[in-house]
Structure formats: C-alpha cells, structure tokens
C-alpha cells in the first residue's frame, strides 16, 4: 500500500496575464486534505478547477501562497503526485503496458520491480489480458482505465483526476466510479477529483468542495458522512446532492412542480 500524504493549500492566488491584462484566476484558496481522504471539486466551467490541479501537480510554479505536501512546499512535478485527465492521452503507437510503463521513466525501481508494478496496476484496473493491446483496440472506458493505471503505477501519495469520466457513457461511468472507489480503498492514497457531475462528486467524495468563478474561489465545502458503497437512491444521498445543486441555483423540487403545469 502506498503512503498517503497530507496536502495543505494556504491562501493560494493565481493570476494569468493575457494581452497585458491581469486575470485573477484563483482567489485565496485554502484547503487541507487529510492522508487518504477523497475530495471532490465541483464548480462552473472556467472557475479554475484545472488550474488548481495544475498547480498541485507542479506544472506551474508562478503563484502566491503555499502548497505543502506533508509540510514541505511542493517543487515541480514529482512521482509522489499522479494525474489523470479527461482525455486519456495515451500514445497510439505504444501498447497498454508500454503506456503505463512510460510513467516509470524517472523511477528508481529496478526493471523487474517496474514490470511487477506495471502488471499489478493493469490488473488493479481490470485490464488483465490486454497488456499487449494498442489504444485503437480499446473502448473509451478501457483507455481511461489505462490512464488510471498510469497515474497510479508510481504509487503516488496523491492522485489528481480532472474530469476522468466526463466523456464516457452513463453505464461505463457508473462502473468506473465504483471501481475507482475500490481502487482508492485498496491503495489507501489521497484522491482529488474534479468533476461536473454532482452525483459523481457525492458518490465518491468524503467532502465536496464547491467553487465559484471570477475569481475562482471556494464557496462552500459539504461533508458527505455516508457509508460506502453509497446508494445513489438513498434519501440521505439525494439530500446532499440536492443541497449541492442548490448552490448552483438548481432546485429539482421546483422543476418537478413545473412538470404537471407543463403537461397541462
């Protein structure tokens, strides 16, 4: 099992300069994430969710505030932080095992340890038997499984997921959400999931961080004190989901009340 890290974000501010204009993208974002916690982040398009993940992963270093992993400021990208994007970003000319193995380029493991980690993670995401397959031979869901295996193969302390299931059909998405929860439990690592899907956020998260735009900031953090695996139909689940949707001005009861009126 990998070691999970404590992530502390203190008064994070991020600006971009576009044509001599300063754009304030992230405004005073503070968030502390416990080792092994699952945190979901939801918010409207453009509110800075991917920017926040890019800063945590270390792809950009131009920001104000602190990002600490186990008390130490993060510096650049590192094997202790993995990421999965919405598009799987697999190399078409590499097989499944080669795509997963690519993430081990900078690893200090021996060749046989690398092989073992690759096989273990391909198995973990349910792709045993597809080691030699190429991306064109995989479905969208299978490709996303490969991307998850690649994100995990270095046994990171934290896995960041940026809308990993956004492009998948509903059934594939349900299955992968269930499996991601098993993987999170098996690996015992910290996960941060950005999603547009409030149900997905509640299904997976210990907490749901709601962000608002211009500038991107945390509006509210909603705890999800429900046992896993969660039942999407349970009253408590639906209540939390509705509460979060309410933050976006979406009220299903009002919508439902409208249906008979519209049918009349």
Ligand X SMILES: Nc1ncnc2c1ncn2[C@@H]1O[C@H](COP(=O)(O)OP(=O)(O)OP(=O)(O)O)[C@@H](O)[C@H]1O
**Cβ nearer to ligand X, comparing 43 with 151:** 43
Q: How far is the CB of 196 from Mg ion (least distance, A)?
A: 9
In three-state secondary structure terms, 7 is: strand
**Cβ nearer to ligand X, comparing 51 with 143:** 51
**Cβ nearer to Mg ion, comparing 26 with 124:** 26
The site for Mg ion (CB under 5 A) is made up of: 50
- What span, in angstroms and rounded, lies between the C-alpha atoms of 194 and 201? 8
To 5 degrees, how large is the angle CA 180–CA 184–CA 190?
A: 125
Of 66, 29, 18, 45, nearest to 209 (Cα)?
Answer: 29
Q: How far is the CB of 50 from Mg ion (least distance, A)?
A: 3
Whether 156 contacts 183, CB under 8 Å: no
Question: Which one of ligand X, Mg ion, none interacts with residue 168, CB within 5 to 8 A by kind?
Answer: none
Whether 151 contacts 88, CB under 8 Å: no
**Cβ nearer to ligand X, comparing 162 with 187:** 162
Q: How far is the CB of 168 from Mg ion (least distance, A)?
A: 16
Q: How far is the CB of 21 from ligand X (least distance, A)?
A: 10
* Residues 6+ away with beta carbon under 8 Å from 261: none
Instruction: Indicate the residue whose CB is closest to Mg ion.
Output: 50
Q: How far is the CB of 134 from ligand X (least distance, A)?
A: 28
Cα dihedral 180, 181, 183, 188 in deg (nearest 10) = 130
Question: Which one of ligand X, Mg ion, none interacts with residue 90, CB within 5 to 8 A by kind?
Answer: none
Question: Which one of Mg ion, ligand X, none interacts with residue 46, CB within 5 to 8 A by kind?
Answer: ligand X
Q: What is the DSSP letter of 215?
A: T
Q: How far is the CB of 141 from Mg ion (least distance, A)?
A: 20
Q: Where are the alpha helices (DSSP H) in 125-251?
A: 140-152, 170-187, 198-204, 235-247
The site for ligand X (CB under 6 A) is made up of: 16, 18, 23, 25, 43, 45-51
**Cβ nearer to ligand X, comparing 87 with 206:** 87
In sequence order, the β-bridge partners of residue 190 are 158
Question: Which one of Mg ion, ligand X, none interacts with residue 172, CB within 5 to 8 A by kind?
Answer: none
Question: Which one of ligand X, Mg ion, none interacts with residue 16, CB within 5 to 8 A by kind?
Answer: ligand X
Question: Which one of ligand X, Mg ion, none interacts with residue 45, CB within 5 to 8 A by kind?
Answer: ligand X
To 5 degrees, how large is the angle CA 49–CA 26–CA 184?
A: 35
How far lies 125's CA from each of 129, 171, 177, in Å?
12, 17, 12
Q: How far is the CB of 43 from ligand X (least distance, A)?
A: 6
- What span, in angstroms and rounded, lies between the C-alpha atoms of 27 and 221? 16
**Cβ nearer to ligand X, comparing 25 with 192:** 25
**Cβ nearer to ligand X, comparing 127 with 192:** 192
Question: Which one of ligand X, Mg ion, none interacts with residue 47, CB within 5 to 8 A by kind?
Answer: ligand X
């Amino acid at each position: 099992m990998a070691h999970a890290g404590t992530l502390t974000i203190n008064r994070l501010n991020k600006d971009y300069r576009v044509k001599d204009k300063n754009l304030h993208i992230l405004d005073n974002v503070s968030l502390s994430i416990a080792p092994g916690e699952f945190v979901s982040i939801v918010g409207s398009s453009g509110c800075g969710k991917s920017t926040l993940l890019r800063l945590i992963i270390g792809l950009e270093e131009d920001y104000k505030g602190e990002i600490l992993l186990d008390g130490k400021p993060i510096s650049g990208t590192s094997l202790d932080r993995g990421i999965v994007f919405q598009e799987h970003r697999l190399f078409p000319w590499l097989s499944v095992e080669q795509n997963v193995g690519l993430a081990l380029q900078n690893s200090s493991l021996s060749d046989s340890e690398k092989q073992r980690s690759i096989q273990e993670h391909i198995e973990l995401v349910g792709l045993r038997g597809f080691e030699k397959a190429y991306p064109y031979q995989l479905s969208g869901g299978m490709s996303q499984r490969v991307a998850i295996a690649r994100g995990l193969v270095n046994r990171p302390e934290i896995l960041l997921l940026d809308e990993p299931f956004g492009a998948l059909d509903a059934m594939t998405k349900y299955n992968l959400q269930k499996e991601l929860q098993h993987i999170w439990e098996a690996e015992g690592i910290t996960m941060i999931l950005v999603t547009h899907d409030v149900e997905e956020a509640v299904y997976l998260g210990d907490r749901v961080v709601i962000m608002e735009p211009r500038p991107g900031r945390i509006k509210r953090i909603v705890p999800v004190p429900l046992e896993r695996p969660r039942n999407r139909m349970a009253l408590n689940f639906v209540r939390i989901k509705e509460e979060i949707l309410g933050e976006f001005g979406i009220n299903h009861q009002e919508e439902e009340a409208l249906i008979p009126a519209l049918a009349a």
